[in-house]
Structure 1
Amino acid sequence: MESQKPHFFTRLRSHRLTTTFTLLATLSIGVLAGSVLTRSVSGKEQQGVDSSSARPLVIPNPTNLSNGFSAIAKQVGPAVVNINTESLPKESPKKKRRPGAGGQGGGQGDPQSPEDFFNRFFGGQGGGQGDDDGDGQGGGERRALGSGFIVDSQGYIITNNHVVDKADKIFVKLASDHDEADEGVPARVVGVDPETDIAVIKIDVKTPLPTVKLGNSDGAQVGDWVLAIGSPFSLSQTVTAGIVSAKNRSIDDRDANGLSKQFQKFIQTDAAINPGNSGGPLVDMAGQVVGMNTAIYTQSMGSQGVGFAMPSNIVASVYNMLIGPEHKVIRGSIGITFQAAQSSAVNRIYGYGNGGIIITTVSPTGGAAKAGLQPNDVIISIDGRKIADGDDMVQDISARKVGSSVKIGYVRDGKQMTASVTIGDRAKTYSDITANTDDDAAAPQQADAGESKLGITVSPLPAAQAAKLGIKGGVTITSVRPGSFADEINLGKGALITEINKKPVTDMASYNAIVSGLNVGDDVVFVIRNTASKQGGNSFVGGTIR
């Protein structure tokens, strides 16, 4: 048996090639035959199948779905309009942004929104057609698109200010107008309020128009269903659904003067909002408008599930003022700026842990200055009512009538005091606060005792600059070591320090004396002088040394 094994494998190897070719030939013949048969059968099926027994499909009667979205869309849709604007090229000087300016309630900071991801929807930034470069310089005719909703049957429409801002022509297209080529009827601006980004426009009508039903935005709760209606990407009468995902949301956005838009408190929603939705209504399940779609959080100019709508209560209040005889919003002010405390160390050093705000600037023309209030005073109450924070104070003061008086409770050097302050017109009061001054030249660098403890080096403020600023002196930060205590609390290069822990810093000697007494675990609060305004003003930066 052993002698036969080699003979068997030799024969197998010698016939392997022949066997392989035989198998391939058989398979090829099978594939060709199958193809021919399939083609033959397919042709017979197309020509010879009897379909007389097939029954036609029947379209059923329309069925109303249980979620009610369609009923709301039919109810509100006729009062939602498409807004088109045209802007002709203009020559206009660019305004210089002033860093770190705050309004009443505005803090110090970068005037640019973080990463610039709060993008407006056409009508103001980046969505127009034409070759406008975005700053109003040169280029051709610019067209933009937005939405709005009718609140008065006589043709009064609410939309966003940035939809109609700087427009030379405004056209409104009603939901009943199905002519795609028709750009709509001309509209004119009744009044605008840039601080809330609200505008009122009007069209002339011969017959009453359908209107929306306004709701109370205070009743909207996180988790409630809402619908957004508008014209995203020129697609009119588009309805998207979502929920209220947050309330009272603030956006770190500033105007051309660097003032915080502190009157913008939004309803946040995940209903899809896209370019062109701006100015359209946000509607609850009762068919009531609870907000006006205004902005989105995006890095792609499209919806990413985070949209912002101005609450209807604010919209109604502003609308009522804009349709008044003066066609503008007049807000009360006591003539101060302040910085909302960010650090618990600031609260502990200045003793207002239970609420309050530190005054940074007092306008010489405002009621606060005439009543004797000063920078570094801590306001703790209004007419005997304790205030929680800057937003609380702003909402109270701004709603008061110009010319009326208010009792302000404040703390100065640990002592509680009161003052009767006259309410002024906010727009007029802040004209001097927003003034710019020439940049001061940097002083030469000099070593100091705070490098090891704080991570900064400073140099003394020249006497001439101190006199120009109207202060006794100070030290300017010339460098900040990465990862140091100063770096962690965002104490920046170029900042002018005038106080540390309520102790005046006028020169290197006073600075070194204070810093040398600081130890790990101590709270440290720096008073930083604002050198960008004629009226000065302070900001407070603090933390705990670790």
Structure 2
Amino acid sequence: MTENDPSTPDGNEVPKESQPAQEDATTPPRGTSFSGEQQEPAPSPWSAQAQQHQAYAWTSPSHQQQHAQGQPYGTAAFTAQQPAAIPQQRRGSGKLVAGVAVLALLVGGGAGAAGGYFASQNSGGGSYNALNQPVPSQQTSHAPAGSVESVAQRVSPSVVELVVAGQQEQGEGSGFVLSTDGYILTNNHVVQVAANGGSIQAVFADGTKADASIVGRDPTTDIAVVKVNGVKNLSPVTLGNSDATKVGESVVAFGSPFELTGTVTSGIVSALHRPVRAGGSSGDQTTVMSAIQTDAAINPGNSGGPLVNLSGQVIGIDSAIYSPQSSGGFGGQSEATNAGIGFAIPINQARRTAQEIISTGKATQTYIGATVSDARSGGAQIVQVQQGSPADKAGLKAGDVVTKIDNLVINDADGLIAAVRTRAPNDKVTFTLSDNRTLQVTLGGQPVQVN
């Protein structure tokens, strides 16, 4: 793979199903057709069939079709089972489970009756009924500082649902307010379908709706900025320092999963510097991010929402999830499940890109100017070096294997690419090679070409 040309195919192919699962997130297909033709249901975006597609938490087309028909959320419909279709052993097992349930119900009822009898005897004939007690007065105290409740109260007014439509696709995602004059930060994959003549509607926490336009986007880091005009009383977020984030730290995720606006979930930081590959199909440009991994629930529609620490500071942008295949879907379809493995773009990287987009309308990609591949012994092997590039000036040669950037261990090519893109152009970093040599590299910068 070419480090500065992410769309170039290389040895970094998505692992086949027979191989152990990687940290790569999988991407649901984005949007549904506006045509009236009946379409076959798309496979689950997180199923093994979709492992070769994009990796974003996006509203699934099947959900959008249900919503269009007046059924925004699927309802399980159970039909009478035919005895002949049920294996004999399973049918017997079902009877056993049912019998256990009845037994538990009978025992519980008996115990309840006995308990009520004894209570009546011991109270001298009186009884207590919770339904007769007065309703407690409304709590007026503020949420404890540092609690999920206080973070939700502080950040929720800044979170935005983005409803996006293109010529043949539609979908929804999330974003959050950066400034009082209407700049909103989100993921590129949330808004890219509207890049060529589409529309974006921003829905704020108080129900206010406004049209939004794309200011700029960067597919290589999956970051985009949109802007609304004429909306008053916007509440910008407070940005934190993702470099200070620690594994085990409590975090809160915000967004609109499955169009459930204003959803708040919590968890911890599970890992840092996790190389995650996303995109790269259907003409999209590949995103390789050095992600924050979290077990806070992130689902389709959360993309672009903020990941926040308990100080109320944004430390990342919810961007992707990994979910194994589930066979529990109706109609024989696999079903996306939340496996507690979500990924967020570190806010320090997003801040730099957003500032460039707001200032110039474009983003700059950090690069070294070398083609890299996975090394058999671990690390990233330099395959080819462009003449005059930062890698060439630093003395990197074809065949060198990079095992560290500064103190960060590099396990493969994606790890190297993600680590480089996380840094800014003109940063000086130290490459450690497999033969224990070290080289200082001054990182370069080049304009991002947007498809």
TM-score range, shorter chain: 0.5 to 0.7
> Match for residue 60 of structure 1?
137
Query: 1:261 aligned to 2:295?
Result: no
Secondary structure at the residue paired with 1:166? helix
Structure 1 position 360, deviation (Å): 0.4
User: Who is 2:207 aligned against?
Assistant: 177
Distance 1:56 1:411 in 2: 73
Residue 304 (str. 1) matches residue 339 (str. 2): yes
Does residue 193 of the first structure (1) align with residue 218 of the second (2)? Answer: yes
Asked if structure 1 preserves the Cα contact closer than 8 Å seen for 2:242 and 2:316, the reply is yes
Report the CA distance between 1:423 and its aligned residue: 4.1
Instruction: Tell me the residue number matched to 1:496.
Output: none
Alignment correspondent of 2:106: none
Q: Does residue 165 in structure 1 map to residue 192 in structure 2?
A: yes
Is the CA contact 1:275–1:301 (under 8 Å) kept in the aligned structure 2?
no
Q: Summarize deviations over 1:41-74 as a string: whole Å, max 9, x none.
A: xxxxxxxxxx9x9955333332656572222111
Deviations 1:98-144 (A, max 9, x none): xxxxxxxxxxxxxxxxxxxxxxxxxxxxxxxxxxxxxxxxxxxx321
The SS at the match of 2:226 is strand
> What is the identity, as a one-letter code, of the residue corresponding to 1:155?
G
User: How many pairs align?
Assistant: 303
Tell whether 2:375 aligns with 1:341. yes
User: What does 1:493-512 correspond to in 2, within 5 Å?
Assistant: none
CA contact (8 A) 1:321 1:329 kept: yes
Superposed displacement of residue 160, structure 1: 0.8
CA–CA distance in structure 2, aligned partners of residues 422 and 251 of structure 1:
21
| Contact 1:87–1:143 (CA under 8 A) maintained in structure 2 | yes
* 8 Å CA contact retained: 2:200, 2:211: yes
What is the distance in 2 between the residues matched to 1:213 and 1:318? 17
Alignment of 1:142-541 (within 5 A): 142-167=169-194, 168-177=198-207, 184-253=209-278, 255-256=280-281, 261-262=287-288, 264-298=289-323, 299=325, 300-325=335-360, 327-343=361-377, 358-363=381-386, 366=389, 374-377=397-400, 389=410, 391=415, 395=419, 399=423, 401=425, 423=444, 425=446
Query: How far apart, in 2, do the equivalents of 1:305 and 1:281 lie?
Result: 17
Q: CA deviation at 1:316?
A: 0.9
CA deviations on 1:410-461 (whole Å, 9 max, x unpaired) are 999x998989989463758xx9xxxxxxxxxxxxxxxxxxxxxxxxxxxxxx
Determine the C-alpha separation between the residues in 2 that align with 1:280 and 1:421: 33
Q: Deviation of residue 378 (structure 1)?
A: 5.3
Q: CA deviation at 1:162?
A: 0.7
CA distance in 1, matches of 2:161, 2:368: 40
Counterparts in 2 of 1:58 and 1:173: CA distance versus 1, 3 Å = same
Aligned with 2:152 (options 73, 94, 115): 73
Give the partner amino acid of 1:336.
Answer: A
Equivalent position amino acid for 2:165 in 1: E
8 A Cα contact 2:349 2:423, kept in partner: no
Which residue of the partner structure matches residue 114 of structure 2? none
Q: What is the distance in 2 between the residues matched to 1:70 and 1:200?
A: 28
Long gaps (5+) in structure 2? 1-126, 326-334
**Amino acid aligned to 2:372:** F
Q: RCO (CA 8 Å, sep 6+): is it higher in 1 or 2?
A: 2
SS in 2 for 1:200: strand
Q: 327-336 or 264-273: which moved more? A: 327-336
Contact between 2:403 and 2:432, CA under 8 Å: does it hold in 1?
A: yes
The whole-number CA distance in structure 2 between the counterparts of 1:210 and 1:296 is 28
Q: Distance in 2 between matches of 1:85 and 1:269?
A: 26
1:227–1:56 distance in 2 versus 1, CA, 3 Å: same
SS in 1 for 2:214: strand
Deviation at 1:335, TM superposition (A): 2.1
- Kindly provide the CA deviation profile for residues 142-187 of structure 1, in whole angstroms up to 9, marking residues without a partner as x: 3211111001111000011111012100000111117xxxxx2110
Provide the identity percentage: 36
Q: Which amino acid aligns with 1:224?
A: E
Give the letter aligned to residue 308 of structure 1. Answer: F
Offset at residue 339 of structure 1 (A):
2.4
**Deviation digits for residues 477-517 of structure 1, max 9, x if unmatched?**
xxxxxxxxxxxxxxxxxxxxxxxxxxxxxxxxxxxxxxxxx
Distance 1:265 1:289 in 2: 17
The one-letter code matched in structure 1 to 2:339 is Q
1:218, 1:407 → 2: CA distance? 16
